[in-house]
Amino acid sequence: MPGLKVVALISGGKDSFFSILHCRANGHEVVALANLHPAIQNGERSEDIDSYMYQTIGHSIIPLYEQALGLPLYRQEILGGVVDSNKSYASPATTQQSQQDETESLVPLLRKVMAAHPEVNAVSTGAILSDYQRTRVESVAIRLGLVPLSYLWQYPFLPPYTETSLLDDMAAAGQDARIIKVASGGLDDGFLWENVANYRTKTRLVRAMERFGIIGDGAALGEGGEFETLAIDGPWPLWKNSIQTEDDDRMVVAGEAGAASVKIRTARLVPKEPSSDFSYEQLRKPTTLDDKFTALNSRLDEIVEEISTTSDKAAETTEALDQTSGWTTQTTDTCTIISNAMAEGNSAGEQMTNIMTRLVNDYKVNPSSIAFTTILLRSMSEFGAVNLAYGSQFITPNPPARVTIACGSTLPTDTHVSLSVVILHDDIVAQKQGLHVQSRSYWAPANIGPYSQAIVTPSPTSSLPQLIHIAGQIPLDPPTMEFPAQGDLTPEAHFATQAILALQHLWRIAQIMQASHFLGAVAFIAANSTTSTQSRVSAALQSCKLAHQPPVTEEAEDEEDEHFDVWDQRQFGGNSGTNVTSTCRKDIVNTSVPPCFVAEVESLPRDAPIEWASVAIKAFDGAVETKGKHHSSLSRVCLSC
């Protein structure tokens, strides 16, 4: 797959520059830099404005990055302020709103870059944990037809599961970013102008955050605004020149509530000698699989062997929708479910338009109140037209989670598409929560359509759990958005590896949404395959079963840590270089394996071999126990999910 042509958004901070390294390591070409800076007010340009979206401290150094990296730099003033302060962001409804919200300053900036570099088709950002920043960049990027790249997204929660893994990787790559501002009670001006990735500085940051009980949530990375950084050097060949300042060129400025910052009077560029100490291939990337699913993948032989011994356990049935009564309605305490909605029309796109029109006009459904949808197509070749008609209805953040499958001739005659929807009641729809990640990262696949990875259905009372509707997940490699190559695996083993990867996507989404239990799972498998249906059914069931088993724990060996640091022990009372608080999210382990169903369908999005979907329960104070045996079912189509 050819690499993308990227414009990198930079603030001067450590993350935006480290993201550039990951863009290069993933085969993309960064062709330009872009930056937003404070506007002149009352004849002066403020050094540090109060912006939720942009870092501006140290902005006077930004022009030097053009020569430091040898890349053209484009800049734009920040106009407006915070109009939409919601965590998730959608494009403003009016021109006046677009002129007032500071997020929209990105639009003319990126258009300026695109005019000068028509080849640009992607934008890079350094978002790590901030939904606020990520969703805003994504909103603008998608509107301009750019692919958003956020390779640092969820970085601390990926292997090796330490909050400082990002700083460790920066140090290993040779990036030098200095702390230019502190704004937390745990940090004082003694941290200023220290290299944030330096071992001693990193250790001090961790200890300072631990004292305030906020370690593990990104505080040691400055994700809560605890500190800001300014990159001054990095590895060749990205950095052609380093930025240097003398002690007399910097002064410490005291701020409010204990904050302090560094004001740089002058800085200069120092040419770097070409070096072979670093290559993009050497940059550490988080492993594709978590520890849990790596262990599961290591049992491929067991899963494949199980295929030959469980083929008689799956009950095969074939069901059609020929006699299905459309527009079936059910009502619960929290939602209304409309199943198998169909409409007349000469094409799938026209029928979907008519379905959505009837939902809005006849059933009085506000699209923003829909939490989950299932789309059944006659042919996946019609998906593009259906997606266009469907997606045009969802203009607010966090559209419904969704499953899309093609069912072929099992749909009624002249029916090209059928839609089922879960609609939240008006009294709880304002409490809806969602996860809508459209950036490429190492975490999980970016959205490839107008849907969210997950939507939480609010509960009418605090004594009842909330349901998490998780969108269908196919086995795409998150950073490349491509399917894993077969290599030297057998077709059966290759399918099993893809089933495990897609299942991990489901797991990661459930974990970030704080799920405690899965109520069940559905594995859709495509009919067009070189392996037998029964073998794929067995592989899916076995993968699901093993994933729900508690991890095997080994007793810790009583051995001296080879990385033990005497200096660290004396200074801080522990070896914080290796004993940093784990950021591994709590696993989801049911008391018993929940029901798992396998449905064979004609085809799946992007010709995927398997797609996992599930509903989970969000963790809450009440006790929830799911009981049930491991079920399997093989059918040609899932009527409603």
459: pLDDT strictly greater than 50:
yes
The full 3-state SS of 243-310, as one line of letters, equals EECCHHHEEEEECHHHCEEEEECCCEEEECCCCCCCCHHHCCCCCCCCHHHHHHHCCHHHHHHHHHHC
pLDDT at 317: 57
Question: What is the rounded distance in angstroms from the CA atom of residue 556 to the CA atom of residue 575?
Answer: 17
Burial of 522 (0-12, 13-18, 19+ CB in 10 A): buried
pLDDT digits (tens, 9 = 90+) for 270-286: 999 999 999 999 999 99
**Mean pLDDT, residues 560-589:** 54
Fold annotation for 5-271: Rossmann fold (3.40.50)
pLDDT digits (tens, 9 = 90+) for 225-270: 899 999 999 999 999 999 999 999 999 999 888 899 999 999 999 9
Domain residue extents for the chain = 5-271, 328-550+564-618
pLDDT at 378: 97
pLDDT at 301: 81
Question: Regarding the domain with residue range 328-550+564-618, which homologous superfamily does it belong to in the CATH classification?
Answer: RutC-like (3.30.1330.40)
Please state which of the ranges 314-328, 331-345, 490-504 shows the lowest mean pLDDT.
314-328
Domains 5-271 and 328-550+564-618 share a fold: no
Annotate 39-89 with DSSP letters as a single string: PEETTEE-SS---SS---TTGGGGGGHHHHHT--EEEEEE-SB-S--SSS-
pTM of the shown model = 0.90
Contacts of residue 519, defined as CB under 8 A and 6 or more positions apart, other chains included, come to 467, 594, 614, 615, 616, 617, 626
Annotate 385-396 with DSSP letters as a single string: HHHHHHHTT--S
pLDDT digits (tens, 9 = 90+) for 3-47: 999 999 999 999 999 999 999 999 999 999 999 998 876 666 666
**Mean pLDDT, residues 325-345:** 93
